[in-house]
Structures are given as structure tokens and as C-alpha cells.
Amino acid sequence: MEGLLDFVLRDILTRVGGIDRCVSEFIRITDQLLPERVFTRIVPELLSGGRTFAGVPVRAQLLGSDPACMADNAARLASLGPAGIDLNFGCPANVVNRHGGGAALLKEPETIHAIVTAVRRAVPAHMPVSAKMRLGYLDDSRAVECALAIAQGGADEMVVHARTKAQAYRPPAYWERIADIRAAVNIPVVANGEIWTVDDARRCREVSGCNMLMIGRGAVVDPGLGLAIKADMQQVHVEPVTWAQLLPLVLDFWHIVTTRLDNKAQAGRLKQWLNFLRRRFPEAEVAYQAIKTINNPAIVDAWLLAQTAPKLTPKTAETI
């Protein structure tokens, strides 16, 4: 999820809990061997043992269409110590697809097989190689064929987003097609797509037959979703994450943004997350409306600090 679920949000969301593993946004591979600094810029967790601040492992994702070049870059990436390497066969963005990457490769199962095979051979045997795919490009007629190409190429695991490129992110997700793929391959399959609530997660597991789920935008909207899904699977009760619990993490998010990102991008990143959060938290709607026209980081900073400042009641004011 380029431009959204970057290292900043990976850091914050994994602090909440309920997430076993992360996958980075994609690193685009064209026709050259990238320098190490490109990998560490996009996946700075490589500088801390391939894990987030909370200790959650991060697999670094590559996107490209040339098997040899993908293999060379995978080998260099592997030397930096990620928790695994993931391959992107699902990105629906036109700018990616018209250059033959992402979901466009779902029209070419033989190329998918060649890429997975080359990458698997290029990295150490102990390092997991996984792949994410959609159900197809214009339709899902080759979904099982593409999944078999991934599995037979030597991948250890695959994630299936239960829509085609043409369906983009429009509901519904066709979880039943994940069940068809799962029946055809001999590696673990992770279900993905339209998981916004615990009920969604429960139905996805039932329909797809998968006991592993990947959540993306759902976790951005509700950072406690992973915890809630795990609790439901274990049949235990857990209280929903409240805004009061989340607000300190919003401040931590802002601190990372203001110290690690370019000044011009800082306010926009906070607004972007608040825009998602307001679907779940009324308080986030208030925050979004308060800062949506502000681009000065200093003013945003002052407003956020005011939200966490102790509120004086008349009694405490008299005491002071």
C-alpha cells in the first residue's frame, strides 16, 4: 500500500498489537541492481534486525517483471536481513501495470513462475519467500494457474487478494475463489480483501477456509482490529481500542513524521491517517476538521499537544 502503510504506520500499528508479521510497500525493480540505501530507505526496519520497534518481523516486498534482475536485487536485499522477501503480483495501479509489473503479470503465469523460481534460488534457503496475487487481471479464469505458478516456483506462502485488477477495491471480495486456490496448491494461503470488522474476518475464514488473514486498510481505520480478530479466533473477550488509548500513538506517529519525513509532507501524512480513522472514531473526525486546512507543522504540533494537555477542573484550579 504505497504512500500509506509505510514504516511509520508499521511502527505505530504494531505497537497496538494483534499483528504477527508485516509486509513493506513495494520496492520497484526495473533494469538495474539497486544500492543498499534504496532498500533501507523504503524498509528502514532492515537497520534494526528486520523488525518494527515493537519487534514484529517485516518482509520486504519487490515488484518487477524481469526474473534475472529480480533475483539479483533479491540477493542483495537478503544480505540486509529482512524477515523474508515478498513478491508483488497484485498491484492494480495503471502506472505499474502498463510497465508489466504487479497485477499485469497475472496474464503471464509462466513469467510469474520464472520470477519466483529465480528469486527462490537467489536467496538463502532459510529465508522465506512469499508472494501476493489477485484473482486475475480482467477476470479470474487463470487464478488457479497463477497460484500454481507461485507454488511450483518454490514460494513458501502466498497471499490472495480476492478481487481482480479490474475490480480494484470495489466490494465485494470473492473469498470463495481463495478456497479454490487453497485446494489446488500445497503451500499456506493467506486471505486478503474487504476485512474491516471481526464479522468480516469470521466470514472470510469460513468461506476461504484460511486460518491466516492479511489486513491492510482495515487496520489503518481501526488499529485494534488485529487484536479483536485474534481474540475472536481464541474465543476470548477483549475491549475495543478507544480513542483515549490511541491518541498517544497518534502523537507518536506525528513525532516520527516530523523527524523522519520532508517538511512539506508532514501535515498531509497526519491528515491522511485521520481521514481513515474518522470512519471508526468520532474524535478523529473532530481532529481532521480542525487541521484539514493547516499545513504548518508547528501549528499542527501545538493543536495536538493541546489535546493531550491535562484539563483543569474548577476544583483542581483552586488547589493550584
Tell me which amino acid residue 255 is.
Answer: H
- Distance of alpha carbon 54 from alpha carbon 14, whole angstroms: 6
Backbone angles phi, psi at 58, to 5 degrees: -125, 125
Cβ contact 39:76 at 8 Å: yes
In which residue are the cell numbers 481513515 written?
A: 276
Beta carbons within 8 Å of 99's beta carbon, 6+ residues apart: 30, 65
Q: Which residues contact 124 (CB under 8 A, 6 or more apart)?
A: 78
Conformation bin of residue 161: beta by default, left when phi > 0, alpha when psi is -120 to 50: beta
Beta strands in 46-140 (DSSP E): 58-63, 85-89, 129-134
Distances (CA, A) of 218 to 130, 196, 285: 22, 4, 17
How far apart CA 116 and CA 276 sit, in angstroms, is 34
| 210 is known as an active-site residue | no
Helix, strand, or coil (residue 102): helix
Q: Which residues pair with 133 in a beta bridge?
A: 89, 160
25 sits in which H/E element: strand 22-28
Q: Which residue out of 91, 146, 204, 210 is catalytically annotated?
A: 91
Contacts of 19 (CB under 8 A, 6+ apart): 13, 56, 219, 226
3-class SS at 92?
coil
Positions marked active-site:
91
